[in-house]
């Protein structure tokens, strides 16, 4: 279920794309602005927009991978929208025309997002944090019950990126770009079988998937309670991995390596 943003006029939408991608749409009817997050393809977005009678003003690109940017050029050509992406990855973000840095704010009508630089999955990965709407567009950094693979960055980099997210308010909705929750949960259960929050979440996920519904966005507080990649300090995980005296970063690195071959 998509969250009610609690502010009149603005709403969040989720368009399934490809095998397991989600494209998010943020629409503010008060100022008639629309943004798409990580459009893997143009067609599902243009279909949705024309059904609603909306234009497209912005694309928020979290990172360069094709399953997140495949629709950028065509959408920009069709709608004249701006493409916002990371300054230091500009040569890999198709259609980019607004370049942003860590800590910068991007304005979306009455609201704005803070740019968080979160290397690990790629070296140019960013997230868009709308504190006023309690929304985090986390791309492929943080998934429900999982985290992104380390394609470019190192485990310590990803650990720091996730630690940054862990410090955000627990009532933040994590809007990730993939429906990976069920598979992530199977791994999570092997490293923390006694975690009741995880067990509860898995029951909920099973019900949602059986009904053909999305399991994301999820609340950051629930991720902190159930997602092993945010829980390197968990005594049970440390016991299961036989790493009682390792640092949290070392436990995280081991978890990530185990998940790669799970």
Active-site entry in 27, 121, 125, 222: 121
Task: Choose between 140 and 192: whose C-beta lies nearer to Zn ion.
Answer: 140
Catalytic residue among 57, 68, 89, 222: 68
Q: State the binding string over 113-142 for Zn ion (x if CB under 5 A, else -).
A: ---------------------------x--
Residue from 28, 57, 140, 223 in contact with Fe ion (CB under 5 A) = 140
Q: E strands, 57-140, where?
A: 58-60, 82-86, 98-100, 105-108, 111-117, 126-130, 135-139
Out of 67, 82, 160, 248, the active site residue is: 67
Q: Of 62-81, which residues contact Fe ion (CB under 5 A)? A: 67
Is residue 27 annotated as a catalytic residue, yes or no? no
Residues 218-257 that bind Zn ion (CB under 5 A): none
> Shortest distance, CB of residue 63 to Fe ion, whole angstroms?
8
Residue 259 interacts, among Fe ion, Zn ion, none and using kind-specific CB cut-offs from 5 to 8 Å, with none
Max distance between CA atoms of the chain, in angstroms, equals: 58
- The total number of residues shown for the chain amounts to 262
140-159 binders of Zn ion (CB under 5 A) = 140
**Rounded CA gap, 166 and 248, in Å?**
13
Question: Which runs of E-coded beta strand occur in 131-235?
Answer: 135-139, 142-143, 146-147, 173-176, 218-219
Two structure tokens written together for 206: 């099973």
Handedness of CA 110, 179, 214, 206 (dihedral sign): negative
Q: Is 121 a catalytic residue?
A: yes
Write out the residues near Zn ion by the rule CB under 5 A: 65, 140
């Amino acid at each position: 279920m998509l969250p009610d943003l609690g502010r009149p006029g603005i709403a969040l939408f989720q368009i399934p794309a490809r095998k397991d991608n989600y494209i998010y749409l943020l629409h503010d009817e008060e100022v008639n602005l629309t943004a798409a997050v990580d459009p893997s393809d143009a067609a599902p977005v243009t279909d949705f927009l024309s059904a609603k009678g909306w234009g497209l003003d912005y694309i928020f690109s979290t990172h360069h991978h094709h399953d997140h940017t495949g629709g950028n050029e065509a959408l920009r050509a069709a709608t004249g929208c701006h493409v916002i992406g990371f300054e230091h990855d500009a040569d890999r973000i198709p259609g980019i025309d607004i370049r942003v840095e860590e800590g910068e704010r991007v304005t979306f009508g009455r609201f704005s997002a803070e740019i968080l630089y979160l290397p690990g999955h790629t070296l140019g990965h960013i997230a868009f944090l709308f504190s006023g709407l309690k929304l985090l567009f986390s791309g492929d950094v943080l998934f429900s019950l999982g985290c992104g693979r380390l394609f470019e960055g190192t485990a310590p980099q990803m650990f720091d990126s996730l630690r940054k997210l862990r410090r955000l308010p627990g009532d933040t909705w994590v809007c990730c770009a993939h429906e990976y929750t069920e598979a992530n949960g199977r791994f999570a259960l092997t490293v923390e079988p006694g975690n009741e929050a995880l067990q509860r979440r898995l029951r909920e996920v099973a019900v949602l998937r059986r009904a053909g519904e999305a399991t994301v966005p999820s609340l950051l507080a629930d991720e902190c309670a159930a997602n092993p990649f945010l829980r390197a300090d968990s005594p049970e995980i440390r016991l299961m991995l036989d790493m009682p005296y390792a640092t949290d970063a070392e436990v995280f690195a081991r978890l990530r390596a185990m998940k790669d071959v799970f």
